[in-house]
Amino acid sequence: MSTGHIHLGDMDLEDLRKHGHQAIDWIVNYLANLDRYPVLAQVKPGQIRDALPRSPPEDPEAMDSILKDLDQIIVPGITHWNHPSFFAYFSITGSGPGILGELLSAAFSVNAMLWRTSPAATELEEVILDWLRQMLSLPADFQGIIYDTASISSLHAMAAAREALVDLRVREEGLAGRPEIPRLRLYTSEQAHSSIEKGAILIGVGQRGVRKIPVDDEYRMDPAALRRAVEEDARSGWRPFCVVATVGTTSTTSIDPVAEIAEICKEKGLWLHVDAAYGGAAAIVPEMRHVLDGCERADSIVVNPHKWLFAPIDASAFYCRRPDVLRRAFSLVPEYLQTSEGERVRNYMDYGIQLGRRFRALKLWMIFRYFGHKGLAARIREHLRLAHQFASWIDDDPNFERLAPVPFSTVCFRARPKDLANLIEKSPNVTDKIDSYVDSLNEALLETVNATGQVYLSHTRLRDRFVIRLSIGNIRTTESHVSRAWALLRDHATRLDKERRPSTLRPRQEDRHICSADLAMKD
């Protein structure tokens, strides 16, 4: 077959050097000017797709043309998670050393499935995870492995918990079509991440096999309710086997009482997994070590460096005190993967569902060395300070209210004009209308503030109330970014309330006089 003018082989190395410099310059300029971009992509559904050709290119295209389209087509459709005013969900930071680590990892393009397929990738992963274990003050018997996300880490924990039920022989016989096997029951809190339920679906437990435990006033799992649930299920023919506690729940970042939960798990013979994907990283700050109290008794725990240790997504650090069970659940070595090193080395493919594994340890190694433990802790400490500063602004403003404690760097709040309380005092029958209005006001407030492009926040529901979340975690976020978010929220809340409030919920004329007098006295 004739290749015509097509040149075989890779990009010319001098072209790689040239365009590599262009790409690095582009990245530096991007990071230096993030404030010029709208945080939330300001495009309509289908806009990016419609700007792209319907068919793949037949002939080679110049890299200059590709980079031009990056600017004109792709970037407008990016929601900038790396922006210092990205306050939605849990922020992700692609830090400088992390970006360089990803670049080098892509250049090596190794598959870290076996020790032999890249000894450095395997041994660096062992070392870097032990470094992180030490920074978190976890016991030495925790052994680590890097997965992509906490969803996958927790899935592996649940599969290991199922494998620990040796009498069921699930690995060999499966679950389907075996009437002699009792229904398995997994426990987690009402505030747990949805990935726990998804994991239960995947390992054959099903949604009905997940029992969600009530929480207290601070959205923490109730250990007494957990104990009652386990005992009730055991009497009813279920087989309790696993509890998932959370350090830093997704909605409110609450911290389950892990020590008390661990005691119940020990007594009942249950696997304890701790989802500390977000909150666990705070434990590298000496005065925050308490957030992992009790986790030393867990069977497994996950912490995500891509959430709050400034690693580009993805990188999830999973630790297990019973790696033999994890390996028993997943190890399957065909002839073509057998090597002569035997038990002298660790083959990470034996500890998970994936055979192909990226060299994720490299970026973590570069981040930990570049910032150091003290530097990482200082940055997290500043995020904690900024969150408590924002929470104090909420608490001091009579037209806003905070809906949950702030153990980390996420604040749950909503706008609630103070004169509505006066209406309820005078006419309690309007409470439902006010609740509905406050929800609609905050939905509009969130949409309006996000539409400015200056910040991006997300929401949740707590006790059936619409709640706005502001989460601080980007390495470039400063107090000025948080102040700007607060100014936008206050200004738009005032305007939207004036425009949207139904007449039935407006103060009567005499009430306005009272409010004005109160304000004058306050001034």
The C-alpha angle 463, 466, 472, rounded to 5 degrees, equals 105
Check: CB of residue 276 under 8 Å from CB of residue 248: yes
The pLDDT score that the predictor gives to residue 2 is: 45
Under the phi-then-psi rule, with left for phi > 0, alpha for psi from -120 to 50, and beta for the rest, what region is 337? alpha
CATH topology of domain 110-359: Aspartate Aminotransferase; domain 2 (3.40.640)
Range with the largest mean pLDDT of 5-19, 421-435, 505-519: 5-19
Nearest CA to 38 among 486, 468, 452?
A: 452
Q: Which two tokens stand for residue 325?
A: 């069970």
Whether the per-residue pLDDT at 516 is higher than 60: the answer is: no
Give CA–CA dist 485/457, Å, rounded: 9
Task: Encode pLDDT of 208-254 as tens digits.
Answer: 999 999 999 999 999 999 999 999 999 999 999 999 999 999 999 99
The pLDDT score that the predictor gives to residue 7 is: 83
Give CA–CA dist 467/115, Å, rounded: 48
Whether the per-residue pLDDT at 523 is higher than 60: the answer is: no
CATH code that applies to domain 373-522: 3.90.1150.10
Phi (first) and psi of residue 389, to 5 degrees: -65, -45
Contacts of 286 (CB under 8 A, 6+ apart): 377
Give CA–CA dist 238/180, Å, rounded: 12
The mean pLDDT value for 416-436 works out to 82
* Per-residue three-class SS string for 186-243: EEEECCCCHHHHHHHHHCCCCHHHEEEECECCCCCECHHHHHHHHHHHHHCCCEEEEE
Q: How confident is the model at residue 144 (pLDDT cuts 50, 70, 90)?
A: very high
The pLDDT score that the predictor gives to residue 4 is: 56
The pLDDT score that the predictor gives to residue 422 is: 77
Give CA–CA dist 342/118, Å, rounded: 15
Whether the per-residue pLDDT at 519 is higher than 80: the answer is: no
What are the residue boundaries of the structural domains of the chain, listed by start? 110-359, 373-522
Task: Encode pLDDT of 332-383 as tens digits.
Answer: 999 999 999 988 999 999 999 999 999 999 999 999 999 999 999 999 999 9
Q: Which two tokens stand for residue 215?
A: 């929480």
Phi (first) and psi of residue 341, to 5 degrees: -70, -30
E strand or H helix that includes residue 54: none
Q: Is there a shared CATH topology between the 110-359 domain and the 373-522 domain?
A: no
Whether the per-residue pLDDT at 484 is higher than 50: the answer is: yes
Sheet with 300-303, strands from edge to edge, namely 143-147, 316-320, 300-303, 271-275, 239-246, 184-189, 210-213
Q: Give me the helices (H) in 298-360, please.
A: 305-308, 323-330
Contacts of 175 (CB under 8 A, 6+ apart): 181, 184, 204
Tell me the pLDDT of the chain averaged across its residues: 94
The mean pLDDT value for 109-123 works out to 96
The mean pLDDT value for 49-77 works out to 95
Q: Which two tokens stand for residue 196?
A: 């726990």
Check: CB of residue 386 under 8 Å from CB of residue 479: yes
DSSP 8-state symbol, 179: T
Lowest mean pLDDT among 295-304, 318-327, 498-507: 498-507
Residue percentage of the chain with pLDDT more than 70: 95
Q: Name the β-bridge partners of 274.
A: 245, 301
Task: Encode pLDDT of 10-43 as tens digits.
Answer: 999 999 999 999 999 999 999 999 999 999 999 9
Under the phi-then-psi rule, with left for phi > 0, alpha for psi from -120 to 50, and beta for the rest, what region is 177? left
Q: Which two tokens stand for residue 469?
A: 């979340």
Q: How confident is the model at residue 298 (pLDDT cuts 50, 70, 90)?
A: very high
- Using omega within 30 degrees of 0 as the cis cutoff, is the peptide bond preceding 12 cis? no
State how far Cα 153 lies from the chain centre.
12
Rounded to the nearest 5 percent, the helix, strand and coil shares of the chain are 55, 10, 35
The pLDDT score that the predictor gives to residue 512 is: 53
Check: CB of residue 196 under 8 Å from CB of residue 212: no
Task: Encode pLDDT of 428-441 as tens digits.
Answer: 777 889 999 999 99
Integer CA distances (angstroms), 202 to 75, 153, 193, 319, in order: 35, 13, 15, 21
The pLDDT score that the predictor gives to residue 503 is: 86
Whether the per-residue pLDDT at 195 is higher than 80: the answer is: yes
Give CA–CA dist 232/495, Å, rounded: 52
Task: Encode pLDDT of 241-272 as tens digits.
Answer: 999 999 999 999 999 999 999 999 999 999 99
Give CA–CA dist 382/408, Å, rounded: 11
